[in-house]
Amino acid sequence: MKIRIGLPTAQSGPFAEGIRNAWSAAGRTGEPRLAALIYFSLGDDAEEASRRYLLDYYGFSGDVARRIADSAYRSVSQLRDVAKGFEDAGFTELYFDPTVARVDQVDRLADAVL
Partner 1 sequence: MIAAQTALAVTGSTGRLGSRVARALSRLGVDQRLVVRDPSKAPALPGSHIVTADYSDGAGVRTALTGAHTVFMVSASETPDRVQQHITFIDAAVAAGVQRIVYVSFFGASPTAIFTLGRDHWATEEHLRSVGVAHTILRDNIYADFTPHFIGTDGSIRGPAGDGRVAVVAQADIAEVAVAVLTSDGAYDGRTLNLTGPEALTMNEIAAILSDHLGRTVSYIPETIDEAYASRASYGAPQWQVDGWVSTYTAIAAGELATVSEDIPEVTGHPAMTLTQVLEAG
- Provide the binding-site residues for partner 1, judged by CB under 8 A: 2-4, 6, 9-11, 15, 55-57, 59-68, 70-71
Q: Given the complex with partner 1, which of 18 and 43 has the nearer CB atom?
A: 18
Tell the smallest beta-carbon distance from residue 114 to partner 1 (Å): 26
Q: Given the complex with partner 1, which of 69 and 109 has the nearer CB atom?
A: 69
Tell the smallest beta-carbon distance from residue 104 to partner 1 (Å): 19
Which residues are paired to 95 by β-bridges?
Answer: 37
Q: Do 39 and 99 touch, CB atoms closer than 8 A?
A: yes
Q: Given the complex with partner 1, which of 9 and 21 has the nearer CB atom?
A: 9
Q: Given the complex with partner 1, which of 9 and 24 has the nearer CB atom?
A: 9
Tell the smallest beta-carbon distance from residue 19 to partner 1 (Å): 9
Q: How far apart are CA 38 and CA 24, in angstroms?
A: 28
How far does Cα 79 stand from its chain's mean position? 9
**How far are the Cα atoms of 3, 36, 45, 76, 102 from residue 53, in angstroms, in the given order?**
22, 20, 14, 20, 13
Tell the smallest beta-carbon distance from residue 2 to partner 1 (Å): 5
